[in-house]
Chains A and B, each alone.
Chain A
């Protein structure tokens, strides 16, 4: 049963610290998405990649957030420095990349709390 995995599942940190979240997409999937879920904003797209190249990161605060795919099996989302307003659940999703509007498969999320 192929799944998207995310680590860590929970993270508590202090303001100003660097946070790194990792995602392993489903093997063979070549699109990867990062979403953020908050009570106020709901689910919003931060960035997405196809074949490891960033296609859209317009939803991401550029000054502190960065997203990369070092290889096809790993996507990372970094926040440096973190701020309390970054507290949210961060979801990674992957898709096969064969068609437009394809189904995205979500990981369990990383619940981040910045104190």
Chain B
């Protein structure tokens, strides 16, 4: 079955430390891949997306993600976390190449400690 997995429900990182949020998908072909961020009480904001080409994609707010086909992964990274990065992060996938509906992971809540 097609699915998106974010193994970490909650992560705490010290301010200034690096961050990696994990995302794995289950699908036979390469899907379209997205990372969204949701601040408390807010809607979802797109951080970055991968459709094809260079497997390392740059996004907003200093985030990047790397698509690894062999691992069916699309992990989100940031070299130095700021307190304002505390939020919930969602990996999302479009599985059907002819469709547009997003399938979301359960999300990872990021806390930033000082």
Contacts and interface: CB of A to CB of B under 8 A. Distances in A.
A42 B36 CA distance: 14
A101 B106 CA distance: 20
Interface string A94-107: 01010011111111
Residue of A45, A101, A104 with highest tally of chain B CB at under 10 A: A101
A43 interface: yes
A85 to B, nearest CB: 19
A101 B107 contact: no
Nearest to A31: B100
A56 B101 contact: yes
Given A91-B44, A106-B44, A108-B43, A100 B94 contact: yes
Interface stretch (B20-28, B45-53, B61-69, B79-87): B45-53
A42 B100 contact: no
A107 B32 contact: no
Interface residues on A, range: 20 to 34
Contact of A106 (B45, B51, B101, B106): B45
A93 B46 CA distance: 12
A91 B98 CA distance: 23
Contact of A43 (B98, B99, B104): B104
Contacts of A4: 43
Given A42-B104, A42-B106, A106 B97 contact: no
A25 interface: no
A3 to B, nearest CB: 9
Contacts of B11: none
B100 A45 contact: no
Contacts of B106: 42
A109 B44 CA distance: 9
Nearest to B50: A101
B42 interface: yes
Given A45-B101, A45-B102, A56-B101, A100 B45 contact: no
Q: Which 10 A-B pairs give the minimum distances between C-beta atoms?
A: A101-B32, A43-B104, A106-B43, A101-B94, A106-B44, A108-B43, A42-B106, A45-B101, A109-B43, A107-B43
